[in-house]
Structure 1
Amino acid sequence: MTTPAASLTEQLAQRLQRPVDAAARQRAALLLVDWLGCALAALRYPLAAQLRSVVQVQSFGPAAALGVGGRCVNDALLINGALGNVLEMDDVHRGAILHPGPVVIPVALAAAQAENADGIALLDAVVRGYEATIRVGRALGRGHYRYWHPTSTAGAFGAAAAGASILRLPADALADALGNAGSRTGGLWQMRHEPVPTKSLHNAEAARSGWLAAQLALAGMRGPRRILEGEQGLFAATAPDAVPEQVVADEADWLIHSTSLKPWPACRHAHPAIDAMREALGGLAEADIAQITRIEVHTYAEALRFCDRPRPSTELEAKFSLQHALASIFVHGRPQLDHYTAESCSDEDVAQWRERVHLTEDTACSERFPAHYGATLVLHLADGRQREAARIDAWGDPECPMSTDDVIAKAMALAQWGGVSAGLAQSLFGQVQALADGGSLDALNTMLARVA
């Protein structure tokens, strides 16, 4: 009798069992700082109040926005799972074309609180959750990305892995959790064409379904082991150009190290052009800038599909508008959060610059995507001169990393945007960084409770 080959989820579960090293924990702590800044900034938006009201009705008690644990884990995952993505400044993995942090970190944090785990267990869960999310995400392929939201699709696997890490599930139970999480995953991009916050809901639901799958596996519930490669599995149903071997390909290190961070408050597809614009304008006199008549952007097809919005009217549309991102630099300089408000969309000076931005596909950029997100920018001046700058990678990518100080500065600005005092934010982020060296999760939980 022939023994059937191990399924992809079984092989993935085995890979996730290996010990997490100190360097990966340090990276997890930095990404936790980044996520926390994004989530704190989102507290000023209507979605935070809407989610809190739903939680309060369901639980018959007050709802905290962050740091909810114990018997309120699902409440925490609904709120925290949604908030990290609201500002479009969450981390991103290029090859997988998704954002691991907004789904994985809320599960790791809430599960660690509920299970009275320590800070090291929390960071290990983050590392394993990122690993599962990225491995599944990169295997889904660009055909899946055309209609499906990979952060939600692959994120459910990462949420299950993070929860299973906290629960210390063995490999066979983890494979069951991955199977059940995958059987319910997904999220359609149609919400991108309408002024709705549904993308954030996708993330919250991925977090909640992954945590449920981990709990069910702990209770002994089996899951479909071939949910990825099976004849009616995820790849067959949603991923016409899936690359199954990417789920279990050998890697030199944990994939959390290959995650990019976002310095600018816009869709990641806009970042290479923003960087090229800032480079092209460097050293250009104000008199020369006034002569610019045309701005050409040559970039990859997906950037155009998501971010070709010449006349945005809302904050969300502004974040997904290459034209607005570049025009705002001419009027305001270094990109800031308040350059992407609804009011900024109606700024006449910004609108005039938007009309000068012209987008075209660069086939070389398209061929490099998603391994690299690139753009070439050409400024045309009235006297016939041209200024050109090109980026293969964006600031925040592993090839052009943000320093720890850069990440902390970003998180501080985000927290204060959300109404958190500089002193509290600094203490929070310091406590998060200390987790990798054995810092107290209880101390962090106490500070998180002050944000609620």
Structure 2
Amino acid sequence: MSKPLLSQLAERLARPVGESDRQRARLHLLDWLACVAGGRDMEAGHLASALSGSGWGRSTYVGNALEMDDVHRTALLHPGPVIWPVAMSMGSAPLSARLDAAIRGYEAMIAVGAALDAHHYAHWHPTTTAGMIGAAAAFGSLIGFAPVEYANAMGNAASVSGGLWHMRHDDVLTKQWHIYHAVRTGRDAALHVHYGATGPQGILEGAQGLFEAMTAHPTRLREAGDGWLIHEVSFKPFAACRHAHPAIDAAMQLREQGELRAPFKIETYADALTFCDRPDPQTELEAKFSVQHSVAVVAAGRDAAPADFTMQAIAELADLRSQVSVSEDPAITARYPKHFGARVNGLELVDTLGDPERPVSDDLIVAKMQTLGAWGGIADADRAAEMALRGDDPAAIDAMLEDWLA
């Protein structure tokens, strides 16, 4: 009889982490810090300040507020805003241990998330469903778990996981609450196991388990061979929903060629329209989930930065938005989610800037830190980049977060 899926995953988590993996994790740490810096003065940031007494605790509410958090395509989830608050939550841990915790958290979160199917994604928020499991793995790494402890903690986290997508129909902070819930619940699951709790290691595939309750056709857990799944995660260079990025990227390439002219015809995959077909956004959140607005931003000569999705930008770009049409291309849908693609006025992209096939440079992540730091009103963006990419002083990062989110 084969071992439960979480037990198999737990054995993967117990492997040693290599230095090249930690270097990759440093990029994701910087990317997350950039997102926190940029979102600190938003409504979610103000709420976070009232809810938590620690910098890492407050960061749970702002790491995804700008819609620029990292993403795994086939798992259809955002690891950074869940995993990094957990990895940074043990003040006594050296930076190397925090990087290892993040790598293991990404691994568990992506492995489970990639096993969820289209039925799950249609109803449930995978960043929350798999995020609780990843959070348990990350904190277990900080504690120093053995495989059985990882499996018990992830099993308890999975037993209460999930978050419904209905919140995206309203201009609410529920998405940020989902992140807070995933961080706190997964972390607490690991802490309980540390003090003796046990958990259902067959909770994923069991008769009354997560797959049975939340999926129609689950697949196997995602594996990365001898490597770690963090290397498959994409970065987001634009301040919009990831489903709008392919159209933004194609429009930017046309603009660089001097070929971006109205009317703008967008063809993309079905989920991009499910989430981002909003021709007339009324709020900043709706603008970030509007492929029409996103392409209008590029047509206006803008860079798809946070300022381009404000109420002022929504008003200024109404005429350009009205010249954008969208439709599904079944061939592009067939390649999804392995490839997030789009066609704009005949120019088709199979993969998008920030994906592993089209990676961004370290310098672009540093530039993102500078841009979002300026947007969030912080003065130490360059220092943050230096600490994340080359430093070895986690206490300094902790103090910086405290200062940003005071």
Q: Name the TM-score, length of structure 1 as normaliser.
A: 0.87
| Residue aligning to 2:79 | 100
Equivalent position amino acid for 1:411 in 2: M
- Superposed displacement of residue 334, structure 1: 2.3
- Superposed displacement of residue 7, structure 1: 0.3
Question: Secondary structure at the residue paired with 1:11?
Answer: helix
| Residue aligning to 1:172 | 148
Question: Secondary structure at the residue paired with 2:221?
Answer: helix
> Within 1, Cα distance between the matches of 2:354 and 2:249?
11
> Within 1, Cα distance between the matches of 2:32 and 2:224?
28
Q: How does 1:20-419 map to 2 (within 5 A)?
A: 20-55=17-52, 63-64=53-54, 66-67=55-56, 76=57, 79-111=58-90, 113=91, 116-243=92-219, 245-247=220-222, 249=223, 251-284=225-258, 292-347=261-316, 350-378=317-345, 388-419=346-377
Contact 1:108–1:122 (8 Å) recurs in 2: yes
Residue ranges of structure 2 left out of the alignment (5+ in a row): none
Q: Could you give the per-residue CA deviations for residues 68-108 of structure 1, whole angstroms, max 9, x where no partner exists?
A: xxxxxxxx1xx222210000000000010000011011001
Contact 2:251–2:299 (8 Å) recurs in 1: no
> Within 2, Cα distance between the matches of 1:54 and 1:255?
32
Q: Could you give the per-residue CA deviations for residues 12-67 of structure 1, whole angstroms, max 9, x where no partner exists?
A: 00010000001110111110000011011111112211222234xxxxxxx35x24
Quick check: which has more Rg, 1 or 2?
1
Question: Secondary structure at the residue paired with 1:447?
Answer: helix
Contact 1:156–1:207 (8 Å) recurs in 2: yes
> Within 1, Cα distance between the matches of 2:236 and 2:386?
20
**Any runs of at least 4 consecutive aligned residues in structure 1 with deviations exceeding 4 A, and if so which?**
none
- Superposed displacement of residue 209, structure 1: 0.5
Question: Secondary structure at the residue paired with 1:376?
Answer: strand
Contact 2:65–2:176 (8 Å) recurs in 1: yes
Contact 2:339–2:350 (8 Å) recurs in 1: yes
- Superposed displacement of residue 441, structure 1: 1.6
From 437, 443, 446, the counterpart of 2:396: 443
Contact 1:332–1:339 (8 Å) recurs in 2: no
| Residue aligning to 1:426 | 382
- Superposed displacement of residue 143, structure 1: 1.4
Question: Secondary structure at the residue paired with 2:371?
Answer: helix
> Within 1, Cα distance between the matches of 2:31 and 2:280?
30
Q: How does 1:13-24 map to 2 (within 5 A)?
A: 13-24=10-21
- Superposed displacement of residue 196, structure 1: 0.7
> Within 2, Cα distance between the matches of 1:304 and 1:241?
23
> Within 2, Cα distance between the matches of 1:105 and 1:193?
27
Structure 1 pair 48/98, CA: closer, same or farther in 2 (3 Å)? same
- Superposed displacement of residue 222, structure 1: 0.6
| Residue aligning to 1:71 | none
- Superposed displacement of residue 252, structure 1: 4.2
Equivalent position amino acid for 2:337 in 1: P
> Within 2, Cα distance between the matches of 1:339 and 1:217?
45
Q: Could you give the per-residue CA deviations for residues 274-303 of structure 1, whole angstroms, max 9, x where no partner exists?
A: 111111223327xxx6xx442111100000
Residue ranges of structure 1 left out of the alignment (5+ in a row): 56-62, 68-75, 379-387
- Superposed displacement of residue 5, structure 1: 2.6
Q: Could you give the per-residue CA deviations for residues 117-162 of structure 1, whole angstroms, max 9, x where no partner exists?
A: 1010000000000000000000011211000000000011110000
Equivalent position amino acid for 1:354 in 2: R
Equivalent position amino acid for 2:401 in 1: L
Structure 1 pair 427/250, CA: closer, same or farther in 2 (3 Å)? closer
> Within 1, Cα distance between the matches of 2:199 and 2:213?
18
Contact 2:107–2:230 (8 Å) recurs in 1: yes
> Within 1, Cα distance between the matches of 2:360 and 2:165?
29
Contact 2:39–2:63 (8 Å) recurs in 1: yes
> Within 2, Cα distance between the matches of 1:433 and 1:294?
43
Structure 1 pair 322/443, CA: closer, same or farther in 2 (3 Å)? same
> Within 2, Cα distance between the matches of 1:359 and 1:326?
11
Q: Could you give the per-residue CA deviations for residues 385-439 of structure 1, whole angstroms, max 9, x where no partner exists?
A: xxx3111010000011110000010011111211111xx221122112124xxx1
Equivalent position amino acid for 1:425 in 2: A
Equivalent position amino acid for 1:88 in 2: E
> Within 1, Cα distance between the matches of 2:320 and 2:375?
27
Equivalent position amino acid for 1:269 in 2: H
> Within 1, Cα distance between the matches of 2:166 and 2:46?
24
- Superposed displacement of residue 250, structure 1: 5.4
Equivalent position amino acid for 2:40 in 1: L
- Superposed displacement of residue 377, structure 1: 1.1
Q: Aligned Cα RMSD in Å?
A: 1.4
